[in-house]
């Protein structure tokens, strides 16, 4: 089969790119190695910047987003004694929307057929070929049958472990990585959130986060060592620890309930350069990973997709190569700024092994400065709500 753009990966980045290109009349085929059910089963972040919500509105894939999404004007940093509220709306004139990544993916999936977006789920042995030529192609096996997709370009939206980044020649690859010495133990429960806005807490026992997916579904996290085991954290123990780390005010409003899902996720910062080589482009987690502090992962993928859509539309409509050539530099410029913010917030709010009393005093001094400085709060708010494209 033949298409103009072959997209590897049917997570939110790949599906969003597919929808945007199809809306511009560009032929697209999406290949996903997992089943649709598996893709929808991933429990991920749910704080959306306007970059992403604007794209969903543009595509008219926003009915449930409009009905169920929660507009947030701010969020909170807790230092053990107080809540420091960052008034994002007052400081930037914008807000964020709380709406689960799973729901974004579901909406994009449900709209695919109407837009004529062809998606192959359950594709095995996905491989990329001739990416340095003008005629790359993708091969895969589905239900025991071998398939080949010839394309003008390939977009790798297949995550950190997908084949797209691996197809980049070692001679051009420049990976950058920082692995953090802890993970996040998360619990999802059908209980009302303890606060109407997110709380990022810095406590002597370690970091904690109070988040939500809706008015009746909450998502909480605590920092744990990497060798911690989920079975060592029954629900009651986890709720008790959350109450301690979030502080008495938040604890008084915590509603406990059985876990729908519980998992431990390691934290890393990762950037791969370049994000384009020949006829292959990388977008989303295939090119970069951010620690979840600050909720930048899905939002960075959306900005990649916006840049890549504009570049591909310019190429196919105007035979303009400039945007194609500039995609990697433009995307990476925003990626590194978001990586900096996520790293900075992670460093500020977590307890690190070997942390000295001096290190701890620096965290507290930084939090105290943020509490008293409009300039510091503005810088945080600008990054949290999303830097301009």
Whether 316 is in a domain gets the answer yes
**Of 180, 200, 220, 327, catalytic:** 200
Within-domain flag for 198? no
Catalytic residue among 99, 180, 307, 384: 384
Domain count, the chain: 1
Structural domain includes residue 113: yes
Each residue's pLDDT tens digit in the chain (389 positions)? 999 999 999 999 999 999 999 999 999 999 999 999 999 887 677 899 999 999 999 999 999 999 999 999 999 999 877 899 999 999 999 999 999 899 999 999 999 999 999 999 999 999 999 999 999 999 999 999 999 999 999 999 999 999 999 999 999 999 999 999 999 999 999 999 999 999 999 999 999 999 998 899 999 999 999 999 999 999 999 999 999 999 999 999 999 999 999 999 999 999 999 999 999 999 999 999 999 998 899 999 999 999 999 999 999 999 999 999 999 999 999 999 999 999 999 999 999 999 999 999 999 999 999 999 999 999 999 999 999 88
**The one catalytic residue among 12, 19, 72, 99:** 72
Contact (Cβ atoms closer than 8 angstroms) between residue 29 and residue 7 = yes
Per annotation, catalytic residue among 262, 288, 296, 330: 296
State how far the alpha carbon of 84 is from the alpha carbons of 71, 75, 87, 103, 248, in Å. 19, 8, 9, 30, 15
Among 221, 292, 307, 330, the active-site one is 292
The predicted model scores a pTM of 0.94
DSSP state of 111: T
Is residue 388 annotated as part of the catalytic site, yes or no? no
What does 206-264 look like in DSSP terms, one character per residue? Answer: --EEEEESSSS-EEEEEEE-TT--GGG--HHHHHHHHHHHH-HHHHTTPPP--EEEEEE
Q: Identify whether 57 is a catalytic site residue.
A: no
CA dihedral 359, 86, 252, 242 (to 10 degrees): -40
Residue 210, in any domain of the structure? no
Residue 196 lies in a domain: no
Which residues, 6 or more positions from 295, have their beta carbon under 8 angstroms from its beta carbon?
45, 46, 47, 96
Active site residue 296: yes
Convert 145-188 into a string of H (helix), E (strand) and C (coil). EEEEEECCEEEECCCCCCHHHHCCCCCCCEEEEEEEEEEEEEEE
Whether 147 contacts 6, CB under 8 Å: no
In a domain, 338, yes or no: yes
Q: Is 327 a catalytic residue?
A: no
Residue 339 lies in a domain: yes
Tell me, yes or no, if 38 is annotated catalytic: no
Sign of the Cα torsion 29, 34, 40, 43 reads negative
What does the alpha-carbon distance between residue 93 and residue 85 come to, in Å, rounded to a whole number?
16
What CATH number does the domain containing 150 carry? 3.50.50.60
Residue 298 lies in a domain: yes
Domain hosting 155: range is: 5-51+64-69+99-176+268-346
């Amino acid at each position: 089969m033949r298409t103009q753009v072959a997209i590897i990966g049917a997570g939110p980045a790949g599906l969003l790119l597919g929808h945007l290109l199809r809306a511009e009349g560009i032929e697209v085929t999406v290949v996903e190695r997992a089943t649709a059910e598996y893709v929808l089963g991933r429990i991920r972040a749910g704080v959306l910047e306007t970059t992403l919500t604007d794209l969903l509105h543009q595509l008219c894939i926003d009915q449930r987003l409009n009905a169920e999404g929660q507009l947030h004007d701010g969020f909170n940093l807790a230092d053990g004694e107080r809540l420091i509220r960052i008034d994002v709306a007052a400081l930037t004139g914008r807000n964020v929307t709380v709406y689960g990544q799973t729901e974004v993916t579901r909406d994009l999936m449900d709209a695919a057929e109407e837009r004529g977006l062809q998606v192959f789920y359950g594709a095995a042995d996905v491989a990329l070929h001739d990416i340095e030529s003008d005629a790359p192609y993708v091969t895969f096996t589905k239900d025991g049958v071998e398939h080949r997709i010839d394309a003008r370009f390939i977009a790798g939206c297949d995550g950190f472990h997908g084949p797209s980044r691996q197809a980049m020649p070692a001679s051009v690859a420049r990976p950058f990585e920082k692995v953090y010495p802890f993970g996040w133990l998360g619990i999802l429960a059908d209980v009302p959130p303890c606060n109407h806005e997110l709380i990022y807490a810095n406590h002597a026992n370690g970091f904690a986060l109070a988040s939500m997916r809706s008015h009746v579904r909450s998502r909480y996290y605590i920092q744990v060592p990497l060798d911690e085991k989920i079975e060592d954290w029954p629900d009651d123990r986890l709720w008790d620890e959350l109450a301690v780390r979030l502080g008495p005010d938040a604890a008084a409003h915590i509603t406990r309930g059985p876990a729908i899902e519980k998992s431990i996720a390691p934290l890393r910062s990762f950037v791969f350069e370049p994000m384009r080589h020949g006829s292959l482009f990388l977008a989303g987690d295939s090119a970069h990973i951010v620690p979840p502090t600050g909720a930048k992962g899905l939002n960075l993928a959306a900005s990649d997709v916006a840049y890549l859509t504009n570049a591909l539309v310019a190429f196919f409509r105007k035979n303009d190569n400039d945007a194609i050539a500039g995609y990697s530099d433009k995307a990476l410029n925003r990626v590194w700024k978001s990586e900096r913010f996520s790293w900075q917030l992670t460093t500020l709010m977590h307890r690190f092994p070997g942390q000295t009393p001096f290190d701890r005093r620096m965290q507290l001094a930084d939090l105290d400065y943020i509490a008293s400085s409009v300039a510091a709060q503005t810088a945080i708010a600008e990054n949290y709500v999303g830097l301009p494209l």
